Amino acid sequence: MERIERVKEAGGWLERYRHDSTSCNCPMTFSVYLPPQAQQGPVPSLYWLSGLTCTDDNFRVKAGAQRYAAELGLALVIPDTSPRGEEVPDAPERYDLGQGAGFYVDATRAPWSHHYQMYRYVTRELPALVEGALPLVPGLRSISGHSMGGHGALVCALREPGLYRSVSAFAPICHPVRCGWGEGCFSAYLGEDRRAWEAYDATCLVRAGAEPIELLIDQGTADEFLAEQLLPEALEQACAERDFPLRLRRQPDYDHSYHFIASFIGEHLAYHARALGR
């Protein structure tokens, strides 16, 4: 992997890398924040999954997370949201399909399936890459994300027991098989069999018997996508049916933006730091 950027921040280093991905069959870019404690030895990591239209740059610039990560001794691993490049299929007339909208699934339908393997990339290839090359503790990781990335974080944690010590999300797409964003992407990436979609739906996974792990979710009550796209009440009901541990915090008057994320990211990082033994 090739380091293409390095910036000193909050006593540590914000770095950006490019590598040839065997999962996505194209060059992929990601960022890592190494806190000052990484200069003395390996540190645990928090994987952050961003939302629709984003790259790795949105979170590292807008969330203000690096200051908290430096205090807590956490590395931040920030992948892109999809494969990119001239050879990668896209839907340029849409913001919610194609490049910038990988939805953290492994596509099975042409023309998407050759490149859009974001679930495998996030859960397998990227951890093996960064934990083998950087001062990170192998296997000591948590995961979080926003919107489409919040969906991805929940699904990764529910499908991979033991892979992450903790999981949280900001305004996640909780029931994508029943919302426009999810239906549009899943039908393209996975085909028309809705039963196949349920493997990438947090609400369906809880109902299907996923191993319990506490879910911490913050949702703004003024979020413009709350009623039609995010559907937290569906996940809340599924968790209640199974007595599944869920902390859904409805934050009055907050919207879907990074102002919302920046307001609570410190609490989320502290939550993960406790789970990671920091």
pLDDT tens-place string over residues 16-62:
999 999 999 999 999 999 999 999 999 999 999 999 999 999 999 99
pLDDT tens-place string over residues 224-234:
999 999 999 99
Residue of 31, 147, 166, 168 with catalytic role: 147
Whether 257 is a known active-site residue: answer no
- Looking at residue 93, its pLDDT comes to 94
Residue of 115, 175, 256, 272 with catalytic role: 256
- Looking at residue 278, its pLDDT comes to 84
Across 91-117, average pLDDT: 97
3-state secondary structure 187-210: HHHHCCCHHHHHHHCHHHHHHCCC
pTM for this entry: 0.97
* Geometric angle at alpha carbon 182, from 164 and 249, rounded to 5°: 55
* Residue showing tokens 């430096």: 70
Whether 256 is a known active-site residue: answer yes
For the chain, the structural domain boundaries read 2-275
Across 69-86, average pLDDT: 98
Fold of 2-275: Rossmann fold (3.40.50)
- Looking at residue 53, its pLDDT comes to 97
Whether 223 is a known active-site residue: answer yes
Residue of 80, 106, 218, 223 with catalytic role: 223
**Residue whose C-alpha is closest to residue 142's, from 70, 211, 73, 45:** 45
Strand partners, 220: 251
pLDDT tens-place string over residues 135-180:
999 999 999 999 999 999 999 999 999 999 999 999 999 999 999 9
- Looking at residue 195, its pLDDT comes to 95
